[in-house]
Amino acid sequence: MRRSLVGLLGCSLAAASALIGTPMPASAEPNGLPAGLTAAEVTFRSGDLTLHGTVLAPRAAGPRRPGMVLVHGSGVGVSREKLRREAEAFAAGGIVTLIYDKRAADYSPVHRDYSLLADDALAGLAMLRTRSEVDPANVGLWGFSEGGWVAPMAAARSSAVAFLVVVGANGVPPARQEAWAMGERQRHQGISGSSQDRFPTTGIRLVAGADLFAQAHHDPVPVLERVRQPVLAIWGGKDRQTPPGEGLTVYHQVLARTGNPHYMLRVFPNGDHAVHQSTDDGFRRLDDLMPGYADLVTSWVADVVADRPPERHVDPVPRQDRPSPVIHPLAWWESPGLQLAAILLCTLAFLAYPMVALGRRLRRGRGSLAGLAPARWLAGLGLAAMLGFLWVFVASNAGASLGPVVAGRALSWLVVQLLAVAVVAAAVATVIGWVRARAVTPGRDRLRLGLLLTGALVFLPWAAYWGLLLP
């Protein structure tokens, strides 16, 4: 998945030793590799790009084994080591597993192509099928988070994919998922009111409308409808990055409708987005996998490759306190162009007033407008409100902390709200002062005040739209 621009969300999976609930031996080789496993460095081509990876496999001799390619979540050039723990657990369970460094070329928060990522996964699968320890007829894909959009696309495209495993997969488009995740973070922080109502939806709508959110409206349903392989889909009940209830529901509806005879939809109630153990109600990931998770994957794959794929099984839908918000297209008056024009006009109008005064002082002109001190306040407060809003917008979309929560609002948002209210009050006072001093106001000062009040006039509906003037 995308950690959007706002891109936003990355995984922090650690490469450590023992795994809870897996058949991994407790001892380890001197190089840090768990005992009983081998690791081979590999390269493979995907189009014009050379990708680097590691194949982990059981050390014990035996017949050819099933293989599995692990497909990353979101992030530019994510290291294969992010999936080392999962790979070691699956290899210890008998699956020859490929992890590889995610591409950095042609991938960014504002540009990415899931089809290209699917090509990378299929290129890795083709390489894995050529290895002597791998049964080429039994190689599948495992996709996590964003990989839950990518791996099904690869599976739908190639019959060489023997099975599909997805973890933390979405049943909704990326923009909708990201808005839901932002809302979850804010609710967890105790934020409510206008900032919670506006930013998760309006902010994502604007970013997507400005083409700054790659693949924002990718629909996973048509892709999933073309998947014919056995499917194992797993969610954590404490997933705070993708809406787990909607994910399981969509997978169930689509796979049942298309007649896929072999799918298993499982939930680990205490698992996080990656089905790791966690603290802080799923918001802080620990290194260890949930007990039973790796066993579930390896035993399911073993059954599939032995031609006894489990019959359909669907766990109860995990709790999801609120649905993901629908991301409607922007109306013309919400367009990025008009938003940018409003921001520039307000900022320039508020900035011009003190800059003209500074120019006069530099020319040793000390003229002032009696009774219009509110105009100076309006300019200063307005400029502070605009800059404060832009900082909050960028920080919020980047997932950064907005400070302590006061009265259900992040402190930084509350400060911007207070500034917005002060701007309105200063604008009213400026109008009253101008009317009273109109007879003695020179023409050039009328122009300066007119520009300032025009900025204030545009600021009023713009601030209301973004919730700055709402509770």
Task: Answer whether residue 325 is part of any domain.
Answer: no
Task: Answer whether residue 31 is part of any domain.
Answer: no
Say how far apart CA 128 and CA 141 lie, in whole Å: 11
The 3-state secondary structure of 298-326, one letter per residue:
HHHHHHHHCCCCCCCEECCCCCCCCCCCC
- Domain ends where: 268, 288, 314? 314
- The reply to whether 51 and 111 lie within a common domain is yes
Neighbours of 60 (CB within 10 A): 9
Task: Answer whether residue 2 is part of any domain.
Answer: no
- Domain ends where: 314, 340, 374? 314
Say how far apart CA 283 and CA 289 lie, in whole Å: 15
Q: How many domains does the chain have?
A: 2
Residue type, 108: S
Are 185 and 88 contacting, i.e. CB atoms less than 8 angstroms apart?
A: no
Q: Which of 232, 59, 253, 84 is nearest to 151 (CA)?
A: 232
- The reply to whether 267 and 364 lie within a common domain is no
- The reply to whether 286 and 354 lie within a common domain is no
- The reply to whether 98 and 225 lie within a common domain is yes
Q: What is the CATH number of the domain that holds 274?
A: 3.40.50.1820
The number of CA neighbours under 13 Å toward the Cβ of 150 is: 28
Q: What is the pLDDT of residue 364?
A: 60
Please say whether the dihedral angle defined by the alpha carbons of residues 450, 453, 459 and 461, taken in this order, is positive or negative: negative
- The reply to whether 276 and 343 lie within a common domain is no
Task: Answer whether residue 7 is part of any domain.
Answer: no
- The reply to whether 346 and 291 lie within a common domain is no
The number of CA neighbours under 13 Å toward the Cβ of 318 is: 25
pLDDT in tens, the chain (471 residues): 433 333 333 333 233 222 223 333 333 444 579 999 999 999 999 999 999 999 999 999 889 999 999 999 999 999 999 999 999 999 999 999 999 999 999 999 889 999 999 999 999 999 999 999 999 999 999 999 999 999 999 999 999 999 999 999 999 999 999 999 999 998 998 888 877 777 789 999 999 999 999 999 999 999 999 999 999 999 999 999 999 999 999 999 999 999 999 999 999 999 999 999 999 999 999 999 999 999 999 999 999 999 999 989 999 999 999 999 999 999 999 999 999 999 999 999 999 988 887 776 666 655 444 447 899 999 999 999 999 999 998 888 777 778 899 988 899 999 999 999 999 999 999 999 888 877 556 667 788 888 999 999 999 999 999 999 988
- The reply to whether 274 and 403 lie within a common domain is no
- The reply to whether 257 and 357 lie within a common domain is no
- Domain ends where: 314, 349, 374? 314
Q: Kindly report the pTM of this predicted structure.
A: 0.86
Task: Answer whether residue 319 is part of any domain.
Answer: no
Residue 115's domain comprises 37-314
User: Rounded to the nearest 5°, which phi and psi values hold at 165?
Assistant: -120, 130
Task: Answer whether residue 52 is part of any domain.
Answer: yes
DSSP state of 28: B
Residue type, 435: V
Task: Answer whether residue 28 is part of any domain.
Answer: no
- The reply to whether 193 and 221 lie within a common domain is yes
Say how far apart CA 249 and CA 377 lie, in whole Å: 54
Q: What is the pLDDT of residue 331?
A: 95
- The reply to whether 398 and 339 lie within a common domain is yes
Helix, coil or strand: residue 138: strand
Task: Answer whether residue 58 is part of any domain.
Answer: yes
- The reply to whether 238 and 351 lie within a common domain is no
- The reply to whether 452 and 365 lie within a common domain is yes
Long-range own/partner contacts, residues 370-374 (CB < 8 A, 24 or more apart): 370/437, 370/440, 371/433, 371/436, 371/437, 372/430, 372/433, 372/434, 372/437, 372/449, 373/433, 374/426, 374/429, 374/430, 374/432, 374/433
